[in-house]
Structure 1
């Protein structure tokens, strides 16, 4: 009985009912499952392609759980105090803490030094016992890092007594530690220690600037859109062979509508298997993710959990997209009982709807020029506009390729084979490079945004790296220790020159018998003439001279003048700002020969206000709680000079306050966004590369018989290899040219939205284009061995 006359499962007016749809979809699934080697091959390729896309979608769906988990652990171990929080009184349940850290080459190492006030002091998260002085508890990654870097291990003299658990770390590869401190270390007025009675602070961050919001929105679109395009491409794998099987069904009585539903059933089955494959691959990737670190960021596997609503959306959207893409692909194909009508001259592709997509996209973006991107509506509008522009760029690709290859005539034999193949079936080639096209177009737009935003988010630190390359401040017991610290820096490997000052505080001292109730204080800086010239513009200078610098029109420093008496034993203040009882005075008088001199920014860019004295004018050992301030010039030929200096800095001060100087510094938000986009771009490029390998293998499998016929007739393998290379190169070249045009147009509009001048970083554009071409070249090289295996006459065998 012909299917066209079966009305038992039709609804009113002959419409096909749900049962008929289900039966036909099930039949298509059976063909995919039991269709022999060809059916299985197509199902495997489709499921693998869909699975690769699903992995990245599930990773993206895990971000809503991933970021809050990291922030929660970071807040739980925080020792920051809000400005209006009062320091708790000393007790058995309090402890003194101070944040510290260092660097080793390009790796950041953070930590906390702590000294408990009593036995009930709260433990840090992830730590089972409090480290005593000379002991430290470290993260597993830091333990492994110390074992592999002997030079770094010298920096940490403490004995390792344990490791930090997962709940106390941001990620498994984080380099973090807790070190016990001597109680005396916390008594320095400028030690950085503070008293707490609990761990954890909830920090509230302000809204991001509009340029950074735009970067995030466009970045997410650019990273996820290639995934969606590849999934849509994967469900069309093996389309030509599938259509020939459907023609056989027409021969036994199926109508054209039934064949389309059966084709949709095959696609649904492949997509469902792809979901399963993607789920398994996601679990495998999640199991290995703890060993991966990108841009200093790592993740715990238990944090990588897809959001339930997003995971449900993925599970529903992928099969639905498979059905829609399949039906859309079959709209221009006539599957008849005697064959598939696709080998005649195809109808020219329509241009109007392909141009309509980017026009609509720019129509959404242009009204936002100069407006603030703070509302949800603007966010969705930007995302929708960027999607339409990039999808429109991809939709234009088949039309442009078709229009270009139509004009190709003559040339060498490999070129003719390639161009003729493209003229007969340019759509397959366009689908193969569509993912890289949209990725490069979006990357160029982001690159233009980055160049514009980077200037704003990169600040000049004011540090003069020509005068010094390392700076530090070491709190010491007395002036003699400060001098010894400066000498130790001078003896460090890789140090060419040390210019240092011994810094202390001096307070106003009454000339009469009545003490000053709340004395004003100033800085007292002692060093040789070369060191003093780093902070002031001094003409003549010899040992024994004294100078002073003042803020213009600042009455608080009016007491600094020749003949004024200062107290070198300065008053101390508690954390709450209360003045502690006055200790024994150490009077010192500014000589009458002291001269006022203008200030000069030191190598760190800071202004120094106070009394500047040479060693012959002040008894350095008499200074109270001084600091050794040093600016170091390093040997540029010693690659480890900075690390040797950091080791000396750590030996002199466990707080490790020294830092390598740099002329510019990026904002933390911008650095975080760039790091996140880099991680996402890495994952997207890996997916594109893997997906193109699968897509290219599928195309070669479709042409296996044709390749075997050509080889059997004597065609050289080198000729066929070059033809396959040209078949890949031509669409890639056209796609990259189109992506550059679309990316520049989108980037220009985005820059106008944040009121930035349109500027093109051509080096960045060439780099993005080169990366895209490099991915294609790598894919071509990987697929050459399967190509050579397919070019055998025995490929003519058939079942």
Structure 2
């Protein structure tokens, strides 16, 4: 039977060869998308792991990693590594974050960070390729002057989370760095990625509280449309094959023999498609790497496949194709005469709604039972609920299609709508199959948009206009915070040297400098309250202003929660019961520098970085962006899901419509011979796809918002917020694209229908 199946598949004439080529091409596209999805998940984890070494010196990572000896001579067995003084600080340049590591070994066998051939000595530094380019092309006063010494090498890819990462490793003297606040003495380089970090972790990468859960849902959201697309492709010309296999059954072939022949025929196309899909993925990988899925681009090597991924796709897709072919022939094995006579299958029943209700019920359970404990428990709980809901949409789809078709057929008086309604009611499974991918894509889109919109709305700036938060005053006002939080309370520096204030005021483009002091008593209770001189405050309008007519020789109280300030001015601040002389004796909480543009910001930042290495300076807008970094990464992943699932669903629709036209060319040819206008038949085709599409659009969007709302209530204790106009534009674009796909297939109707098709078996 295998030999016969191969002969029928490979020597079945032009029609069979064309069908195999179409199936192989569709499977190749689906496999390439599937491989890109799996490689993208691997790339996110690989990128996240390369943040590990930056956490060296934090309480949760100190002593947990293993280091490589910096000296070429490896220490003798059992010998401990020489301690290494380590200070990580966060710098910035034109809104981009720069990771700075100052280190100093205490002996020849200190641990060596990744990406370095040796440790830099005092007055030497290693820079990432992107930062090295900036150092060469930027005026020294804006950037290079912050890092005295000379560059002795370039950081290798092992040290860089992304190709454009800005990182610098600066060599210092051990006695100098030991006296620097916040420097740590370490004996190993951390190897714990942020996704596995527990306790106090550096704010880099994606933490375990979100990455496993988010990536699990993203994987499911992308895999389902791809698998539906592959399944749709393997069913091309299903009706024609059913008739041929029914004829074989009538002349004596057993159900087992028919199943073997069908499996061989489907596997031939699937194997060729899988091979082409792997080749297509290799060609697409360089183009996929620069896409910032998580806010940062990938190295091409990060988009890699592990052995389980390769085995899963290489074996799973052909097996799935064979299984789909086997399931498609159930009517043939049960009753070949029923197929040849085109008997109507049993209509779907209302019980199909139960899996959908079960999925939503599981998500609703945790609203009252509480958030599942631990990340693993959350993955199992929410992922199973989302998957069950998606399966429920697939199961209930034919029943909803049947209900809509019967309603249209019962109420319409137009021939095209009547024919479309009757045909859908006769085979609602086929009608839903054409739009199943789009239904799932709209569900995934609604869930992603609903969750991200709500997170943004409940965030620090979610209910306000983000664009207003990045006005000129916020972009051009530099803040340097000097507060260190300890168990005893916030600790500040005693004062700022007058020479530093003079240097800042002499920087070209600096318009004002304001020293913010910690008020006595009240500041210990609320660390975000400061007192300033009204004379200085007039030079930094982003912080606020004293009341009109106030004496400049007075003081004022203001909030130092600058990232919550919006617009070009922070408003009027209240007077402080403190004399200007008393202000000078208070500890300094932070410093604000107002400038006239980006170049002045960077020049002032260079002066501050040289004076206070442990206290990075950022603009108000940069501080806001840093707080939204994780939300931005999740939004990027959501956008990837949306922008990937909709095109995949469109491909599924195109393949389904073409397959449906090919399978029904004889009935359409008979209608044309009976006098039906070609325009009416085209309206029938559009209605057969548009009716289930509209029904499932409403159900999928409503279900998506409901699932998102249940997740938000149980996981974050937040209420779903309505999305903005961008979401509705995405939905409208998806529906218009679907209608465009339908329109592109209509010219085929004239070509495949006619007397010749009506005479065929």
TM-score, normalized by length of structure 1? 0.68
| 1:688 matched to 2:649 | yes
Partner of 1:657: 617
| 1:178 matched to 2:138 | no
Match of 1:600 among 531, 554, 558: 558
Distance 1:795 1:186, change over 3 A: farther
Query: Displacement of 1:166 after TM fit?
Result: 1.5
Distance 1:332 1:339, change over 3 A: closer
Equivalent-residue separation in structure 1 for 2:473 and 2:429 (angstroms): 61
**Paired residues of 2:126 and 2:153 also in contact (CA < 8 A):** yes
Distance 1:125 1:101, change over 3 A: same
Aligned pairs for 1:563-578 within 5 A = none
**Paired residues of 1:155 and 1:646 also in contact (CA < 8 A):** no
Q: Deviations over 1:439-468 (max 9, x none)?
A: 322433444444555566658999996995
Equivalent-residue separation in structure 2 for 1:755 and 1:84 (angstroms): 28
Q: Deviations over 1:226-276 (max 9, x none)?
A: 233333322212202222332443465324553344223322333333332
| 1:73 matched to 2:80 | no
Equivalent-residue separation in structure 2 for 1:437 and 1:705 (angstroms): 29
Query: Displacement of 1:74 after TM fit?
Result: 1.9
Query: Displacement of 1:433 after TM fit?
Result: 0.9
Secondary structure, aligned partner of 1:396: helix
**Paired residues of 2:246 and 2:339 also in contact (CA < 8 A):** yes
Query: Displacement of 1:97 after TM fit?
Result: 4.6
Q: Deviations over 1:77-105 (max 9, x none)?
A: 5454438969xxxx999566542332546
| 1:111 matched to 2:125 | no
Match of 2:431 among 423, 429, 432: 429
Match of 1:206 among 198, 202, 215: 198
Aligned pairs for 1:537-576 within 5 A = none
Partner of 1:380: 380
Q: Deviations over 1:720-749 (max 9, x none)?
A: 665544443222111102213433443454
Distance 1:197 1:399, change over 3 A: closer
Aligned pairs for 1:516-535 within 5 A = 528=535, 530=537
Query: Displacement of 1:437 after TM fit?
Result: 0.8
Q: Deviations over 1:195-214 (max 9, x none)?
A: 76765464662398989876
Equivalent-residue separation in structure 2 for 1:259 and 1:316 (angstroms): 22
Aligned pairs for 1:630-649 within 5 A = 630-632=592-594, 641=597, 643-649=598-604
Secondary structure, aligned partner of 1:735: helix
Secondary structure, aligned partner of 1:498: strand
Structure (1/2) with the larger helix percentage: 2
Compare 306-315 and 465-474 and name the one that shifted more.
465-474
Q: Deviations over 1:723-776 (max 9, x none)?
A: 54444322211110221343344345445544846x454436x85565344234
Secondary structure, aligned partner of 2:369: coil
**Paired residues of 1:440 and 1:740 also in contact (CA < 8 A):** yes
Equivalent-residue separation in structure 2 for 1:220 and 1:303 (angstroms): 17
Partner of 2:317: 318
Distance 1:298 1:746, change over 3 A: same
Compare 710-719 and 426-435 and name the one that shifted more.
710-719
Secondary structure, aligned partner of 1:791: helix
Equivalent-residue separation in structure 2 for 1:724 and 1:103 (angstroms): 57
How many correspondences in the alignment?
682
Equivalent-residue separation in structure 1 for 2:673 and 2:123 (angstroms): 79
Equivalent-residue separation in structure 2 for 1:467 and 1:59 (angstroms): 41
Partner of 2:390: 390
Partner of 2:15: 38
**Paired residues of 1:63 and 1:306 also in contact (CA < 8 A):** no
Equivalent-residue separation in structure 2 for 1:395 and 1:84 (angstroms): 48
Distance 1:98 1:337, change over 3 A: closer
Secondary structure, aligned partner of 2:253: coil
Equivalent-residue separation in structure 2 for 1:771 and 1:152 (angstroms): 45
Equivalent-residue separation in structure 2 for 1:78 and 1:182 (angstroms): 19
Aligned pairs for 1:245-324 within 5 A = 245-250=244-249, 252-324=251-323
Partner of 1:10: none
TM-score, normalized by length of structure 2? 0.71
| 1:746 matched to 2:748 | no
**Paired residues of 1:736 and 1:769 also in contact (CA < 8 A):** no
**Paired residues of 2:85 and 2:178 also in contact (CA < 8 A):** no
Which sections of structure 1, spanning at least 5 residues, go unmatched? 1-22, 507-522, 548-597, 635-640
Partner of 1:164: 155
Query: Displacement of 1:370 after TM fit?
Result: 1.9
Match of 1:480 among 499, 503, 506: 499
| 1:775 matched to 2:737 | no
**Paired residues of 1:131 and 1:137 also in contact (CA < 8 A):** yes
Q: Please provide the CA RMSD for this pair.
A: 5.4
Equivalent-residue separation in structure 2 for 1:479 and 1:268 (angstroms): 80
Query: Displacement of 1:501 after TM fit?
Result: 2.4
Distance 1:684 1:365, change over 3 A: same
Match of 1:791 among 731, 750, 757: 750
Equivalent-residue separation in structure 1 for 2:673 and 2:176 (angstroms): 86
Partner of 2:76: none
Partner of 1:242: 241
Query: Displacement of 1:434 after TM fit?
Result: 0.5
Equivalent-residue separation in structure 2 for 1:128 and 1:96 (angstroms): 18
Q: Deviations over 1:34-88 (max 9, x none)?
A: 32332233223333333334334444544675455334422235454438969xx
